[in-house]
Structure 1
Amino acid sequence: FCFNPRDALSFSRIVSVPSRKIGNVTVDAVNAFARESEADILAILSAPSHVPGVPKTAVGPLLGFRAQVESVRSTMGVLRPSELIDHVIEVMGLRPHYLDGTPQGEARMENLNELRGLAESFDDRDPAQGLEDFLAEVALVSDVDAYDENGEGATLITLHMVKGLEFAVVFMVGMEEGLLPHQRALDEREENPSLVGAQTEMAEERRLAYVGMTRAKDRLYLSCAFRRHLYGRSQPAFPSRFLTDIPQSMLGTPRGSAPVAPPRQGYKERYIERQVEAAPAPPPVQRFASGDRVTHPAFGSGTVVKSTLTRTDEELVIKFDKVGLKILSGMLAPLTK
């Protein structure tokens, strides 16, 4: 509404949160007058007593609401996105409104805190550009408002938007260092491990992981990649430290009676040691080509669909006769032609 004072829907949603003794009759009268006069609602609220159908008792609350909105609008493009959210919460009186001692109010306040956390990732930009980018990001994930829990199909949703929802089956992908916890939290912890901010950042990442895990009612699947393409190149991925906090007794067996493999402990350290100790590796050689027949000790026979050279490896897409498509490392996979 601050960006678009003609948005009647947004006006109707926020004008009574918190309660300002502005009823539905008043809201309908303002919206009807705005449509007829083709004026923006904020301009109309400068003289609400002139709006037909608005009770005298609502004039003062409407003027107060307009003053609050103008206070927010005056700081847009000046304050950073997270600071602007703090200003909105303070000016609109949202904190005392939601912290009413009920679990629902506490959950709504947590949602505002999550929104502020998302806004912080845009604070390093020019305030006006950061606010525009932040609102664009929020618009991309706002489809959760139209979520139909009875609809068919998979729901793709972020951890910041999933609070309050539940699903029979949940897949959390990207449980890797640098993704969850985010690289920002890792950098702060490494540079200033004793600072309260670094500890708070990591605690927030842990809380996000907990929120995601507790959305599952029946089954929860947690996955991490062995190798991931980031910033145009392939690099090793390391399991999230949060995976090691899960007791083994709580994990189910994936197939038959095979035990659940714990995260690869020490893999990152061993990888770094090998990088330091080993001589510079020669560029990878393309050993396989599309159409080659290969054999893998576990997957059996198959056909190479695609071979791609990266700076450090040969990545293969192979269609195995019995287990279907697999993506393997040409340098690590025990393949024979």
Structure 2
Amino acid sequence: MKLVVQIPAFNEEKNISRVIKEIPKKIDGIDKIEILVIDDGSSDNTSLEAKKAGAHYVVRNKENIGLAQTFQRGINKSLSLGAGIIVNTDADFQYNQNEISKLIQPIIQGKADIVSGNRQVETLSHMVSSKKYGNIIGSKVVELSAGYKIADASSGFRAYSRDAALRLFVISKHTYTHETLIQAKRKNLKVVEVPVEFRKREQSNSKLISSVGSHIKKSMSTIMRSTLMYNSMKTLGYLGVLMMALGAIPMIRWAWLTYIEHSAGNHIQSLLLGLLLIMLGFLTVMLGFISDLIATNRRHLEEILYRIRRAELKISENGK
């Protein structure tokens, strides 16, 4: 079985060689290990340093397209290289690459489709509080959306089986970490976590999180979009029913004051507020039905795309 370790990188000339050199040369259960670096339009010598350090393949984006799409490009390239397992790691030397063997074991043993490294964020003294609590809250939101327990939803140190990689289609331009976890549940992929080391950043600042506020905003947008794409009926249905229930309260108040107590005044405000909330709730539920039909069509299209990708890769491998 071939393992491809893919490293999305952007302006990491100071760290990329250390990451590559730390990747194990041999792992039990793996026949061949190859290293793929995807340079997201760096303005420094990231690509050159990667080649010097021994990367087997270096793919360079003509311009900066963002982590999520760089990750997806890496997945596509890794699959074309015949990867049986794909490990994604960061280029900033915060993950210990010697733990790759631990990361892929559940896949080798057939116990998981995706294995995510749990950084145990709550114990990290070197992570600033804003990022720490942002990660914890983000993980809880993803857990609620995905429908299964996940301790560290933002970890970029992950292993994917070939079948899991074929089934994932990242749409976000910011980060893939949350979207892929939500997709995994909808596609019946087994996700497990293993504890991993997470070092203090030494030689550069985060390329993804220039502003914690901006990162939270973009991440929440990704989570909401993914949730609506794969679970629209439940999400919008609950919201619509809640709005109608809230609308019933002022309607009941209006009816009680008007017909039971015969109170002075027409209390038209309660009537209008109740009608407005009930109408908005009804429209939200209808939107949920329409979104669910679109989501069903999307699932069919993704299944077709999965089969096409699998067939194309099989033809390509047979032709080699």
Q: Normalised by the size of structure 2, how large is the TM-score? A: 0.30
Question: By percentage of residues, which structure has more helix?
Answer: 2
Larger gyration radius, structure 1 or structure 2:
1
Relative CO higher for 1 or 2, CA cutoff 8 Å, sep ≥ 6? 2
Q: Normalised by the size of structure 1, how large is the TM-score? A: 0.28
